[in-house]
Amino acid sequence: MRGEPASPYRVEPLQDSHDRTAFHCGVPELDHYFRHQAGQDARRKVAAPFVLVDGSGAIVGYYTLSAYSVRVGELPEALAKKLPRYPLLPATLLGRLAISTERRGQNLGRLLLMDALYRSWKNTAEVASIGVVVEVLDDSARAFYQHHEFIPLPEHPTKLLIPMATIEKAFRVS
């Protein structure tokens, strides 16, 4: 928007030139993945990692996106009724999302989530997806995603989904 200051952060695809060694979010699984596996997953096209960097180029957060599929029977009934009865439906997996411990409380998790949802929505012009799925590690993560309109998948208590129609409403310009 006009008149708003430029953000001191930018989101970009993970590159070999990014220094991942200093990143620490406090969740061992997420830290280990980012330092040791994210680059391999990107090269093998298993996941698309994106990093949030500050003005100095330091990584302050990251997330990953991947193709995913969900069984129609796993969806909440109200959503499933609106979709075709194919055995598997295409979705996007937000596999990981983490913010460095030093930058918590600055709404950077929301900034990364909105970037991931926007990329996922824009991608549906070329690759179909009924929504974005996350698997939460704890109650804090569950509360974060549910605050942003993700809904639980009834048969999988750790999985949540935000329908693409909800994402589209947030980003479509009238």
Q: Rounded CA gap, 97 and 107, in Å? A: 13
Say what percent of the chain tops pLDDT 70.
Answer: 95
Q: What is the pLDDT of residues 30-48, one digit of tens each?
A: 999 999 999 999 999 999 9
Q: What is the pLDDT of residues 143-163, one digit of tens each?
A: 999 999 999 998 888 999 999
Residue 94 near residue 133, CB atoms below 8 Å: yes
Region label for 3, one of left (φ > 0), alpha (ψ between -120 and 50) or beta (otherwise): left
pLDDT for the residue 1? 37
pTM: 0.90
Are 131 and 169 in contact, with CB atoms under 8 Å apart?
Answer: no
DSSP helix/strand/coil, 93: strand
**Close Cβ partners of 87 (under 8 Å, ≥ 6 residues apart):** 71, 72
Cβ atoms of 32 and 40 within 8 Å: the answer is no
Tell me the pLDDT tens digit for each residue of 96-134.
Answer: 999 999 888 888 999 999 999 999 999 999 999 999 999
For strands 131-135 and 88-99, give the pairing.
parallel
132 forms bridges with which residues in the sheet? 92, 162
